[in-house]
C-alpha cells in the first residue's frame, strides 16, 4: 500500500470536487470559438489534401493516370507509393509496428498492394478543398483486382488460433478449474451463440489533421487524437525525428470512442504531404472514409456454454469467440475478460479464433470486449433466471462474486448490490410481471430488462504540473485530452480544491505535447490518472512552500518540522496547532517569490497500489499485479415497447446506477453515463455496418445508412451513483466511467425485448426483421 | 431535415418557397446537369463532375451577408455555403460532420430558416441573411439557447453543438418545441454521438417555455 497523500485525507470536505458545475470550456463550445483540428486556418499558406481511396478490396496497383488531375488549376501534388518519400520506419513489420505503436501492421502508400476497400492509394493536394476533391476524382488508378475475402463467415475463410489477441495484451486461451467436465456434469446446461454486427465509432468530428513543418526537421501537428503523446511517438518514429521535434496539439476533439486512440495512416500521410508541398496542409476524412480509415468493432460470433445447478448457481462457463481480422494483425476485443470475472464460478475456459479477410484492422471501440462480452453473459443469465423461474436480479445475487473469480483477489471496492437495489427502486422493478409477453400498453408489448455492468481500473500513469502565483491564481497543466468527457472541468475542480482557490482563479491546460505527459484518454483511465497527477503536483507545490516557511524567521512556522505542517485551503499550519500558520500568499510575497511550480505523477490501478509489481508484470498481467482486483460496477434497467406487427423496438425508460469511486462532477458524469447508454442502445437496436460478401466493401458507409440513435429514439434517463470510497486505486479514488456506461446496455435492451415478446434475439442489432422472424419461446 | 419533407406550414415562412436555398430548389435549377449526373453507371464519376464543372467553373467574387455583415469572397460556384463559411470566412463554428445533409452539424439560419449549409451552394445564398453560431449572441451576452445548453449540459465534445443550438433556436421559433416529444422529433435531424439528447431536449424546452 502506498504512503502517498490521498485527496480524502487532505480535503476531508471537498469544496467543488463532485459538484454539478457547468463546463469551464462550455462557453467556447456554445459560441463556436472552440477550435478543432481542421480549424487552424491562420497558418500561412495553408492548403488542402484529400485521400483517394481504393474501390477494390484486393489487388495490385498497376499504374496511375494523373494527366487530367494535374491539369486542374490549383493542384499542387499527387502523391502515391511511386513518388512519396520513404518513411524512416513503417509498421509493415512487427518491430516497426511496436516501435510506432501503430494500430495496424500495414501502411498504405508504401507499396502497390491493395488489401482492403477504402485503403488510401493517393493523396491529392490543392489550394482549395474543391480543387483537391475534383482532382482526386479525375485521378485514374489502374488496378489488377483479385477476389477478396470479406469475413470469417466466408466459406473460404481459414480460422486459426492466434495464441494472443489485442496486440499481445490478452492470451487467446484461459483455463480455470475444469470447465468441460463441470459443464458435462451440470444439471442445467445452456449453449447459445451470440453475434455482433460490425460497429463504427462515428464521432461527429471526422478524423482530421493539420500539419505544419516549421523547419525542415521540426513539425507541429493539430490532430484529432485521444492522446497527443501517443501520436507524437508514432509520427516521430515514422519520420525518424527526435520525439520533441514533433509537437502534437489537440485542444478540442469532436468525440473519439476509441477510433482516435491510435495514429492511423491519414495523419502521417498529411504530414508527408505538407513536407512535399512545403506548406501547411490540412486533411479531413470524409464520412464514408471514416468507415475505412480509423478502425471498427469487428464482426464476431460468441458461443457461451453455461453450466448451473438446479437453483441457478453457475458451475461452468465456456466461451469461444470467432471474429474477422486484417491480413496482418491478430486483433480481437477481449470479450472473455468480463465473462471470467463477473460472477462466482469455479470453472472457466475461453478461446479465440480468427480469420483473415480483406479488411483494415479492427480497434478498440468503447468498452472493447466488455460490451459484446456482457451481451453474451447477461442474456444467458437472464435465460437461466427464466428457466428456473426466479427474478433476473435474484439470479445475479445467487452468483454474486465476493472476490474476483478470475484472480482470487479481493475487490478494492464493490457496490453492485447497492446498484441493483437502488436501480430496482428507481425503476419500480418490484411491479414487474415475471411472465414474458404478458405486459401491454394498448397494442404495444411492454418489456422490462436489466443487466450488470462492470469495467476494470486499468494500470496507468501520467504527470502534471501546477504553477501557483503569489497573487492567488494558478495554471495547471497536463498533456491530456478532453473528449467531451469533462477533463477541462473536473481537473479545474480538483486543482481548485487542492490549492484552496476558487475555480475562476485556476486555469487548466491540456492537449499539447509541450505539457507534462498524460496517458491516452481511453480505457476509462483519464479521469483517475490525470486528476491524481494534478493532485500530486499541487502536493509538490505545498512541500516546496513548507520548506520555505520553516526556514523563514518571519514565518509562524519557522523551525517547525516539515512533516508537522499541513495545508488546509491554501493555509500552511501546524497539524497540532492550526492557529499557528499563514496563508501561502503572505509567505511567498515575503520570500519574493512570484510563483512556485510543482510536478506530480499520478498512478492509477495496480500501479498505484504496487508501482513496481505493475511495472515488472507481463503485459497480460499488469492490471492484476497488485493485491486487489479493481473494477467499477453498475446496473442498467430498461423498458422497451415493441410493436408486435412491425417489430419495432423503442426504449421508453432507462435507469443506470453505478458505483465508480469518487465522482468528480455530478453533472458531466451523468452526461457521460447517459451518453454511453445511448451508444449501447445504438449497438443494441440499430447499428451495423454491412460488408458485401463478394466485394468486401461496406454497403452503408454513411450516416444516412449507418443508423446511430437520434433524439427521438431516446427517452429521458435516470442516472445515480452509489457513493464509494476506494483507497487502493489512486490518490483521488476515481475509477472512471467512460466505458462502464456502455457495458451491459445491449443485454438490458435484449432482456427487455425478451420480457416484452418472449423472443430471445441473440444477434445485434435487434432490428424489426429479427423481431418478426424470431419465434417466441414458452417460459 | 424536417423542412425537406414536411407539409407543416409552421416550418415554411411565407414567400420562401422558390429560390430558398434548399435542396429542392437546387435540384430544380440544376435539373439538367444532375439528370446527367444521376445516370450512372454509363459514365464515370470523373466525367459526371467534368460535365458539372464545364457549366459552372471559375473563381468569382460573391457577397455573403453573414451575422449582419456583408463580406466578399473569391470562390468557385461549386463551393458549398458550409465550406465558404469555414474555409473562406474562417467561421469555423459551423461544423462539417458528413457533408451530405445527414448529421445536421452544419446547421445555420438562412433568412430565419434552419438549413444544412453543406447542401446549399454559397453562390445561391447571396442577398440572404445568414446567421451562424458566431452571430447568435449579442456581444459577450449569450443567446438564451446557448445559456440553456450550458446549464443543462446539452453537449459533451461540442462538435455537433453549434448545429444543435441553431436548430434549437429555429425549432422554438417554428413552434415545434411545445412538448418534450415534439422537441425530440424536430431535433432529430441533428445527430449527437456523445448522446446528450435528454439534455438537449431539456435545454430546448426551457427556452420554449420561457417564450
Q: Which residue has the cell 411492454?
A: A446
Q: Are A451 and A680 in contact (CB under 8 A)?
A: no
Cell of A711: 433524439
Spell out the residues 6+ positions from residue B39 whose beta carbon is closer than 8 angstroms to its own: none
**Is residue A128 less than 8 Å (CB to CB) from chain B?**
yes
- Contact assignment for B165 to A128 by CB distance below 8 Å: no
Nearest chain B residue to A668 by CA distance is: B153
Q: Are B66 and B130 in contact (CB under 8 A)?
A: yes
- What's the pLDDT at A167? 82
Over the range A532-544, which residues count as b (16 or more CB within 10 Å of their CB) and which as e? bbbbbbbbbbbee
CATH topology of domain B144-210: DNA polymerase; domain 1 (1.10.150)
- What's the pLDDT at A635? 98
How far apart CA B165 and CA B184 sit, in angstroms, is: 14
- Contact assignment for B157 to A204 by CB distance below 8 Å: yes
How far apart CA A328 and CA A324 sit, in angstroms, is: 12
DSSP state of B134: G
Cell of A152: 470469417
Q: Which helix H or strand E contains A348, and what residues bound it?
A: strand A348-356
Q: Kindly give the parts of chain A with pLDDT less than 50.
A: 1-2
Q: Are A422 and A721 in contact (CB under 8 A)?
A: no
Minimal C-alpha gap between B15 and chain A (Å): 30
- What's the pLDDT at B45? 57
Cell of A388: 428456473
How far apart CA A666 and CA A656 sit, in angstroms, is: 14
ipTM for this prediction: 0.97
Q: Is the pLDDT of residue B31 over 50?
A: no
DSSP state of A158: -
Q: Which among B90, B98, B162 has the least Cβ separation from residue A703?
A: B98
Q: For this structure, is A320 an active site residue?
A: no
- What's the pLDDT at A1? 40
Does domain B14-135 sit in CATH 3.10.20.30? yes
Q: Is the pLDDT of residue B200 over 50?
A: yes
How far from the centroid of its chain's Cα atoms is residue A116's Cα?
25
Query: How many residues are present in chain A?
Result: 779
Decide the pairing of beta strands A314-325 and A348-356: parallel
- What's the pLDDT at A12? 87
Residue A408: other Cβ atoms inside 10 A: 10
Mean pLDDT of chain B: 82
User: Which domains does chain A show, CATH number per domain?
Assistant: 7-34+460-604 (3.30.365.10), 47-147+201-293 (3.30.365.10), 366-458+624-773 (3.30.365.10)
- What's the pLDDT at A59? 98
Cell of A222: 493539430
What global pTM score does this model have? 0.93
Cell of B167: 436548430
Question: Structural domain boundaries of chain B?
Answer: 14-135, 144-210
Per-residue pLDDT reduced to its tens digit, A355-375: 999 999 999 999 999 999 999
Question: Which residue from A508, A524, A410 is spatially nearest to A460, judged by alpha carbons?
Answer: A524
Binding-face residues of A in 467-496 toward B, CB within 8 A: 483-486
How far apart CA A50 and CA A640 sit, in angstroms, is: 43
Question: Which residue from A238, A646, A635 is spatially nearest to A421, judged by alpha carbons?
Answer: A635
How far apart CA A494 and CA A260 sit, in angstroms, is: 26
Q: Is the dihedral of CA A540, A542, A543, A544 positive or negative?
A: positive
Q: Best residue in A31, A42, A210 to probe B by mutation, most B CBs within 10 Å?
A: A31
How far apart CA A233 and CA A242 sit, in angstroms, is: 9
Q: Which residue has the cell 410481471?
A: A433
Residue A169: other Cβ atoms inside 10 A: 12
Question: Which residue from A453, A427, A398, A79 is spatially nearest to A266, judged by alpha carbons?
Answer: A79
Cell of A151: 469475413
Residue B176: other Cβ atoms inside 10 A: 21
Secondary structure string (H, E, C) spanning A218-258: EEEEEECCCCHHHHHHHHHHHHCCCHHHEEEECCCCCCCCC
- What's the pLDDT at B55? 52
* Residues on chain A touching B194 (C-beta within 8 angstroms): 204, 255, 484, 671, 675
DSSP state of A428: T
Q: What distances in angstroms separate CA B211 from CA A397, B113, B169, B170, one per listed residue?
A: 50, 18, 11, 13
Nearest chain A residue to B104 by CA distance is: A204
CB-based burial of residue A618 (10 Å sphere; 0-12 exposed, 13-18 middle, 19+ buried)? exposed
- Contact assignment for A39 to B180 by CB distance below 8 Å: no
Residue from A244, A687, A739, A773 carrying the catalytic annotation? A739
Q: Which residue has the cell 509538490?
A: A540
* Residues on chain B touching A717 (C-beta within 8 angstroms): 198
* Residues on chain A touching B97 (C-beta within 8 angstroms): 204-206, 254, 287, 703
Q: Which among B50, B76, B198 has the least Cβ separation from residue A674?
A: B198
Q: Best residue in A26, A27, A32 to probe B by mutation, most B CBs within 10 Å?
A: A32
Question: Which residue from A129, A277, A133 is spatially nearest to A212, judged by alpha carbons?
Answer: A277
Residue A283: other Cβ atoms inside 10 A: 29
Mean pLDDT of chain A: 97
Per-residue pLDDT reduced to its tens digit, A516-569: 999 999 999 999 999 999 999 999 999 999 999 999 999 999 999 999 999 999
Cell of A101: 505503436
- Contact assignment for B197 to A68 by CB distance below 8 Å: no
Cell of A474: 494558478
Residue A111: other Cβ atoms inside 10 A: 14
Q: What distances in angstroms separate CA B83 from CA A30, A203, A207, A768, one per listed residue?
A: 20, 20, 17, 38
Cell of A596: 512556485
* Residues on chain A touching B161 (C-beta within 8 angstroms): 29-30
Q: A251 φ, ψ to 5°?
A: -80, -35
Minimal C-alpha gap between B13 and chain A (Å): 25
- Contact assignment for B180 to A484 by CB distance below 8 Å: no
A300 bridge partner residues: A196, A323
Per-residue pLDDT reduced to its tens digit, B88-114: 999 999 999 999 999 999 999 999 999
E strands, A722-770, where?
Answer: 763-764
Q: A82 φ, ψ to 5°?
A: -80, -30
How far apart CA A234 and CA A96 sit, in angstroms, is: 10
Q: Are A231 and A225 in contact (CB under 8 A)?
A: yes
- Contact assignment for B150 to A27 by CB distance below 8 Å: yes
Say whether A352 sits in a helix, a strand or coil: strand
How far apart CA B23 and CA B6 sit, in angstroms, is: 14
- What's the pLDDT at B32? 39
- Contact assignment for B196 to A671 by CB distance below 8 Å: yes
* Residues on chain A touching B89 (C-beta within 8 angstroms): none
Cell of A393: 436480479
How far apart CA A380 and CA A386 sit, in angstroms, is: 10
Q: Which among A29, A39, A704 has the least Cβ separation from residue B161?
A: A29
Q: What distances in angstroms separate CA A461 from CA A458, A580, A609, B184, one per listed residue?
A: 10, 37, 12, 41
* Residues on chain A touching B177 (C-beta within 8 angstroms): none
Radius of gyration for chain A, computed over Cα atoms and rounded to the nearest angstrom: 27
Q: How many interface pairs between A and B have CB atoms less than 8 angstroms apart?
A: 202
Say whether B163 sits in a helix, a strand or coil: helix
Nearest chain A residue to B98 by CA distance is: A287
Q: Which helix H or strand E contains B207, and what residues bound it?
A: helix B197-210
- Contact assignment for B158 to A34 by CB distance below 8 Å: yes
Q: A439 φ, ψ to 5°?
A: -115, 130
- What's the pLDDT at A42? 96
- Contact assignment for A703 to B188 by CB distance below 8 Å: no
Q: Is the pLDDT of residue B34 over 90?
A: no
Q: Is the pLDDT of residue B47 over 70?
A: no
- Contact assignment for B100 to A35 by CB distance below 8 Å: no
**Is residue A35 less than 8 Å (CB to CB) from chain B?**
yes
Nearest chain B residue to A255 by CA distance is: B157
Amino acid at each position: 500500500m502506498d504512503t502517498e497523500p490521498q485527496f480524502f485525507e487532505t480535503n476531508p470536505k471537498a469544496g467543488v470536487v463532485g459538484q454539478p458545475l457547468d463546463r469551464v470550456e462550455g462557453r467556447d463550445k456554445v459560441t463556436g470559438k472552440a477550435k478543432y483540428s481542421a480549424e487552424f486556418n491562420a497558418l500561412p499558406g495553408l492548403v488542402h489534401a484529400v485521400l483517394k481511396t481504393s474501390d477494390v478490396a484486393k489487388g495490385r496497383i498497376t499504374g496511375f493516370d494523373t494527366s487530367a488531375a494535374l491539369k486542374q488549376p490549383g493542384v499542387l501534388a499527387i502523391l502515391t507509393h511511386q513518388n512519396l518519400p520513404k518513411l524512416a520506419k513503417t509498421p509493415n513489420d512487427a518491430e516497426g509496428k511496436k516501435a510506432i505503436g501503430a494500430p495496424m501492421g500495414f501502411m498504405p502508400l508504401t507499396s502497390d498492394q491493395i488489401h482492403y476497400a477504402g485503403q488510401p492509394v493517393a493523396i491529392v493536394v490543392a489550394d482549395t478543398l474543391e480543387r483537391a476533391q475534383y482532382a482526386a476524382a479525375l485521378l485514374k488508378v489502374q488496378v489488377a483486382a483479385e477476389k477478396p475475402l470479406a469475413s470469417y463467415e466466408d466459406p473460404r475463410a481459414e480460422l486459426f488460433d492466434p495464441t494472443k489477441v489485442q496486440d499481445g495484451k490478452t492470451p487467446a486461451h484461459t483455463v480455470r478449474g475444469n470447465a468441460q467436465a463441470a459443464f458435462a456434469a451440470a444439471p442445467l446446461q445452456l449453449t447459445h451463440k451470440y453475434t455482433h454486427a460490425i460497429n463504427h465509432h462515428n464521432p461527429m468530428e471526422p478524423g482530421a489533421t493539420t500539419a505544419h513543418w516549421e523547419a525542415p526537421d521540426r513539425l507541429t501537428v493539430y490532430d484529432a487524437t485521444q492522446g497527443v503523446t501517443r501520436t507524437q511517438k508514432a509520427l516521430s518514429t515514422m519520420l525518424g525525428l527526435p520525439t520533441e521535434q514533433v509537437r502534437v496539439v489537440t485542444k478540442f476533439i469532436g468525440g473519439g470512442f476509441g477510433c482516435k486512440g491510435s495514429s492511423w495512416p491519414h495523419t502521417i500521410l498529411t504530414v508527408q504531404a505538407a513536407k512535399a508541398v512545403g506548406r501547411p496542409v490540412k486533411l479531413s476524412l470524409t464520412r464514408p472514409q471514416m468507415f475505412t480509415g480509423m478502425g471498427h468493432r469487428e464482426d464476431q460470433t460468441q458461443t457461451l456454454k453455461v453450466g448451473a445447478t438446479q437453483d441457478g448457481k453457475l458451475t461452468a462457463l465456456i466461451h469461444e469467440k470467432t471474429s474477422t481480422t486484417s491480413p496482418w494483425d491478430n486483433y480481437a476485443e477481449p470479450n472473455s475478460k468480463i465473462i471470467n470475472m463477473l460472477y462466482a464460478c469455479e470453472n472457466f475456459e475461453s478461446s479465440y479464433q480468427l480469420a483473415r479477410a480483406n479488411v483494415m484492422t479492427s480497434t478498440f471501440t468503447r468498452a472493447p470486449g466488455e460490451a459484446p462480452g456482457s451481451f453474451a453473459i447477461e442474456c444467458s443469465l437472464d435465460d437461466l433466471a427464466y428457466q428456473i423461474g426466479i427474478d433476473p436480479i435474484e439470479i445475479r445475487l445467487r452468483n454474486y462474486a465476493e472476490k474476483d473469480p478470475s484472480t482470487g483477489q479481493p475487490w478494492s471496492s464493490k457496490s453492485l448490490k447497492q446498484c441493483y437495489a437502488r436501480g430496482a427502486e428507481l425503476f419500480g422493478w418490484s411491479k414487474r410481471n415475471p411472465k414474458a409477453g404478458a405486459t401491454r400498453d394498448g397494442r404495444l408489448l411492454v418489456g422490462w430488462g436489466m443487466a450488470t455492468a462492470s469495467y476494470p481500473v486499468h494500470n496507468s500513469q501520467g504527470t502534471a504540473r501546477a504553477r501557483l502565483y503569489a497573487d492567488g491564481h494558478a495554471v495547471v497543466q497536463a498533456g491530456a485530452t478532453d473528449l467531451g468527457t469533462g477533463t477541462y472541468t473536473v481537473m479545474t475542480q480538483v486543482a481548485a480544491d487542492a490549492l484552496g482557490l476558487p475555480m475562476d482563479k485556476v486555469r487548466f491546460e491540456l492537449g499539447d505535447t509541450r505539457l507534462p505527459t498524460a496517458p491516452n484518454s481511453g480505457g476509462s483511465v483519464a479521469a483517475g490518472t490525470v486528476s491524481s497527477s494534478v493532485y500530486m503536483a499541487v502536493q509538490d507545490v505545498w512541500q516546496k512552500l513548507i520548506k520555505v516557511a520553516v526556514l523563514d524567521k518571519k514565518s509562524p512556522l519557522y523551525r517547525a518540522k516539515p512533516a508537522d505542517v499541513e495545508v488546509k485551503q491554501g493555509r500552511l499550519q501546524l497539524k497540532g496547532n492550526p492557529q499557528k500558520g499563514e496563508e501561502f500568499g503572505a509567505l511567498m510575497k515575503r520570500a519574493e517569490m512570484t510563483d512556485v511550480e510543482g510536478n506530480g505523477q499520478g498512478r492509477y490501478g495496480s500501479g498505484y497500489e504496487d508501482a513496481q509489481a505493475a511495472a515488472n508484470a507481463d503485459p497480460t498481467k499488469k492490471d492484476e499485479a497488485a493485491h486487489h482486483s479493481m473494477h467499477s460496477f453498475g446496473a442498467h434497467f430498461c423498458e422497451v415497447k415493441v410493436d408486435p406487427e412491425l417489430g419495432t423496438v423503442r426504449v421508453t425508460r432507462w435507469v443506470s446506477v453505478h458505483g465508480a469511486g469518487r465522482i468528480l462532477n455530478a453533472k458531466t458524469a451523468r452526461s457521460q453515463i447517459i451518453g454511453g447508454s445511448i451508444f449501447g442502445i445504438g449497438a443494441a437496436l440499430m447499428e451495423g455496418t454491412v460488408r458485401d460478401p463478394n466485394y468486401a466493401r461496406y454497403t452503408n458507409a454513411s450516416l444516412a445508412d449507418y443508423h446511430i440513435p437520434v433524439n427521438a429514439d431516446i427517452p429521458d434517463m435516470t442516472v445515480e451513483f452509489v457513493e464509494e470510497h476506494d483507497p487502493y486505486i489512486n490518490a483521488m479514488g476515481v475509477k472512471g466511467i467512460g466505458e462502464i456506461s456502455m457495458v451491459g446496455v445491449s443485454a438490458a435492451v435484449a432482456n427487455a425485448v425478451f420480457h416484452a415478446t418472449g423472443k430471445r434475439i441473440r444477434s445485434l442489432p435487434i432490428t424489426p426483421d429479427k423481431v418478426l422472424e424470431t419465434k417466441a419461446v414458452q417460459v | 431535415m424536417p423542412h425537406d419533407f414536411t407539409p407543416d406550414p409552421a416550418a415554411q415562412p411565407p414567400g420562401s418557397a422558390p429560390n430558398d436555398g434548399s435542396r429542392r430548389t437546387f435540384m430544380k435549377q440544376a435539373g439538367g446537369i444532375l439528370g446527367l449526373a444521376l445516370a450512372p453507371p454509363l459514365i464515370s464519376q470523373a466525367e459526371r463532375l467534368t460535365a458539372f464543372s464545364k457549366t459552372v467553373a471559375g473563381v468569382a467574387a460573391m457577397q455573403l451577408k453573414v451575422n449582419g455583415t456583408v463580406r466578399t469572397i473569391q470562390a468557385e460556384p461549386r463551393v458549398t455555403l458550409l465550406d465558404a463559411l469555414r474555409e473562406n470566412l474562417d467561421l469555423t463554428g459551423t461544423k462539417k460532420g458528413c457533408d451530405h445533409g445527414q448529421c445536421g452539424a452544419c446547421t445555420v439560419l438562412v433568412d430565419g430558416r434552419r438549413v444544412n449549409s453543406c447542401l446549399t451552394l454559397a453562390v445561391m445564398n447571396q442577398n440572404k441573411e445568414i446567421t451562424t453560431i458566431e452571430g447568435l449572441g449579442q456581444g459577450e451576452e449569450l443567446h438564451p439557447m446557448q445559456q440553456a445548453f450550458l446549464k443543462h449540459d446539452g453537449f459533451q465534445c461540442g462538435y455537433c453543438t453549434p448545429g444543435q443550438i441553431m436548430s434549437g433556436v429555429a425549432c422554438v421559433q417554428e413552434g415545434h418545441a411545445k412538448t418534450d416529444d415534439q422537441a425530440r422529433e424536430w431535433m432529430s435531424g441533428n445527430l449527437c454521438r456523445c448522446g446528450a439528447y435528454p439534455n438537449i431536449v431539456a435545454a430546448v424546452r426551457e427556452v420554449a417555455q420561457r417564450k
